[in-house]
């Protein structure tokens, strides 16, 4: 199989020459009804408000076929080494099911059996905590779980936890991530140590920020006046089998991940599984896995009009490389998804924020866009001004649900709050696309602001899992299209190295000069 740069393909050159389509000219009732694809978890992907006509869509199909995008996805699923930078397999899909029903081996073991074994451990542990069979060191039942981790060990699991807060919780969850001591201090101030179970998440067992926060928690526990408090009975680890965290008796239990699960792709592994199973019950986490697996299976479809993640990826590449749009806004009209844009920032920008291809050669075309977002309707009263009337066009990805989670609502001015929320969502899609003329230049909306919509009946564990997998697969497909390695993250390493030099009093004059301003 060939791995070529985007601009070396015949289909890309044809896309460059193809007539541009107008959202204003295309948008109509029939198109809105027709241009829709089924996703997992009962969701649908609607691309009616994108500048993609039948001619462009056919060329996007040709691009996907020419670059063997779905076949490359199958290589990941079958266990081929696809993280060429770190020479590793890429197995996050396998944590939620075997899409191709093939045996995948790594580290001398059956990886499906390994992941399923860890799920069984998580299920058993969560049930014992909920039943009170496993208690804190002073004999009290655990009521709170606190995850200590950073990056992928925090953003995804935290986003998923918050997304399900409308469902019945078995335990409250807190998260400590930033090495800023104010973060830990704020969370610790809310905790009852006797009833709190900490989850320490670090694949390597050497993550500086995570270990610093662990030590801060341990020191606070040590200084506690509570008699009989034993920290080793209040901490579990999510780490690799060879990690120092997996050794010794300093933790109550260990749950394992491996090098084939990147942090930003780890929410469906033990990284997300332990905290979500404790907070909501293993059955809820299992439903997240089910929705994600359903979307993974749908992502095998070669027809781009039937594969939402692939078409989303192709349209994103068209907007980035043909239309030259530099950013994408993720706009969930669901307060439950308040931290989902932050998770997608890492997922997308850490994966495809690359300037060399998978062979280490410089690419001469734009790659990953800047990702940002905020829930509606708050965003409407914030940065939408630039989105509507600014000099840059920013593609938009809306997410919405017909019904709320809590079911708590009232009628005011003739409509429910949820109805008002979704009325705003529909209005924004149309306002961005069609705009408005006015004699007053300040009130002119040029329109042609393109958007997509992912929507469903209600944000459930299944639809949440499918939503997560949709964006993971979109990012993966775009990495293939740009010929990148979407599974390493060398860009985060240099700052870590220099920070260690500062702490040792090392480094050149420039580094020491800036450090001197702050330390």
Q: 133-138: list long-range contacts, CB under 8 Å, 24+ apart.
A: 134/252, 136/194, 136/195, 136/196, 136/197, 136/233, 136/234, 137/194, 137/228, 137/229, 137/230, 137/232, 137/233, 137/234, 138/194, 138/226, 138/227, 138/228, 138/229
Active site residue 359: no
Strand (E) positions, 320-369?
327-333
Structure tokens at 72: 């490359």
Residue labelled with tokens 């220099």? 498
Q: Is the dihedral of CA 209, 211, 217, 223 positive or negative?
A: negative
Q: What is the number of other CB atoms lying within 10 angstroms of the CB of residue 357?
A: 19
Are 299 and 305 spatial neighbours (Cβ–Cβ below 8 Å)? no
Q: What is the number of other CB atoms lying within 10 angstroms of the CB of residue 127?
A: 14
Catalytic residue among 44, 103, 323, 381: 381
3-class secondary-structure state, position 427: helix
In degrees rounded to 5, what are phi and psi of residue 238? -115, 110
Structure tokens at 464: 């949440």
Give the 3-state DSSP-derived string for 232-260, with helices as H, strands as E and coil as C. HHCEEEEECCCCHHHCCCCCCEEEECCCC
Are 357 and 472 spatial neighbours (Cβ–Cβ below 8 Å)? no
Q: What is the number of other CB atoms lying within 10 angstroms of the CB of residue 402?
A: 11
Please list, in sequence order, all residues whose beta carbon lies within 8 angstroms of the beta carbon of residue 461, skipping any fewer than 6 positions away. 164, 167, 280, 284, 285, 287, 288, 291
Catalytic residue among 350, 374, 462, 472: 350
Are 142 and 197 spatial neighbours (Cβ–Cβ below 8 Å)? yes
Q: What angle do CA 213, 216, 222 make, to 5 degrees?
A: 140
Distance (Å, rounded) from C-alpha 60 to C-alpha 272?
35
Active site residue 293: no
What number of H helices and E strands is found in the chain? 18, 17
Please list, in sequence order, all residues whose beta carbon lies within 8 angstroms of the beta carbon of residue 27, skipping any fewer than 6 positions away. 48, 49, 433, 434
Q: At what angle do helices 155-163 and 270-280 cross, to 10 degrees?
A: 30
Catalytic residue among 24, 34, 436, 496: 496
- Segment holding 221, helix H or strand E: helix 208-223
Active site residue 29: no
Half-sphere exposure of 279 (CA within 13 A, CB side): 25
- Nearest alpha-carbon partner for 428 in 325, 331, 328, 324: 331
Active site residues: 350, 381, 496
């Amino acid at each position: 199989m060939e791995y070529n740069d985007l601009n070396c393909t015949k289909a890309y050159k044809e896309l460059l020459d193809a007539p541009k389509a107008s959202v204003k000219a295309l948008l109509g009732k029939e198109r809105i009804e027709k241009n829709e694809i089924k996703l997992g978890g009962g969701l649908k992907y609607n691309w009616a408000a994108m500048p993609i006509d039948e001619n462009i869509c056919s060329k996007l199909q040709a691009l996907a076929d020419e670059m063997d995008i779905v076949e490359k996805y199958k290589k990941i699923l079958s266990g081929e080494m696809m993280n060429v930078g770190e020479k590793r397999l890429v197995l996050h899909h396998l944590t939620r099911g075997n899409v191709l029903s093939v045996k995948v081996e790594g580290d001398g073991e059956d990886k499906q059996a390994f992941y399923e074994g860890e799920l069984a451990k998580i299920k058993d542990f969560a049930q014992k905590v909920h039943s009170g069979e496993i208690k804190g060191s002073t004999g009290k039942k655990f009521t709170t779980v606190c995850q200590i981790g950073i990056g992928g060990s925090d953003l995804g699991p935290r986003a998923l936890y918050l997304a399900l807060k409308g469902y019945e919780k078995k335990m409250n969850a807190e998260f400590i991530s930033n090495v800023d001591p104010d973060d830990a201090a704020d969370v610790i101030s809310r905790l009852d140590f006797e009833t709190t179970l900490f989850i320490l998440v670090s694949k390597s067992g050497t993550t500086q920020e995570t270990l610093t926060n662990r030590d801060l928690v341990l020191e606070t526990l040590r200084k506690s006046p509570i008699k009989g408090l034993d920290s080793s009975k209040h901490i579990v680890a999510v780490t690799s089998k060879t990690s120092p965290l997996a050794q010794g008796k300093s933790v109550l239990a260990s749950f394992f991940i491996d090098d084939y699960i990147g942090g930003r792709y780890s929410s469906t592994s033990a990284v997300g599984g332990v905290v979500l199973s404790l907070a909501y019950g293993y059955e809820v986490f299992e439903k997240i896995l089910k929705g994600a697996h359903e979307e993974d299976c749908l992502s095998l479809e070669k027809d781009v009009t039937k594969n939402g993640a692939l078409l989303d990826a192709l349209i994103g590449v068209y907007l980035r490389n043909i239309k030259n749009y530099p950013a994408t806004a993720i706009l969930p009209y669901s307060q439950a998804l308040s931290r989902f844009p932050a998770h997608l920032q890492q997922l997308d920008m850490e994966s495809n924020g690359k300037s060399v291809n998978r062979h280490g050669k410089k690419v001469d075309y734009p790659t990953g866009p800047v990702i940002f977002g905020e829930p509606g309707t708050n965003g409407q009263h914030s940065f939408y001004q630039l989105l509507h009337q600014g000099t840059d066009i920013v593609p938009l990805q809306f997410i919405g649900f017909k019904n709320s989670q809590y079911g708590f609502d009232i009628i005011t001015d003739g409509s429910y709050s949820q109805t008002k929320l979704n009325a705003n969502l529909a209005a924004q899609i149309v306002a961005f696309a069609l705009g408005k003329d006015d004699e007053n230049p300040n009130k002119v909306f040029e329109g042609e602001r393109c958007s997509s919509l992912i929507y469903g009946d209600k944000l459930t564990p299944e639809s949440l899992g499918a939503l997560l997998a949709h964006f993971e697969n979109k990012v993966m497909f775009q990495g293939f299209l740009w010929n990148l390695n979407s599974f390493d993250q060398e860009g985060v390493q240099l700052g870590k190295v220099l920070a260690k030099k500062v702490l040792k009093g090392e480094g050149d004059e420039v580094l020491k000069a800036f450090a001197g301003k702050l330390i």
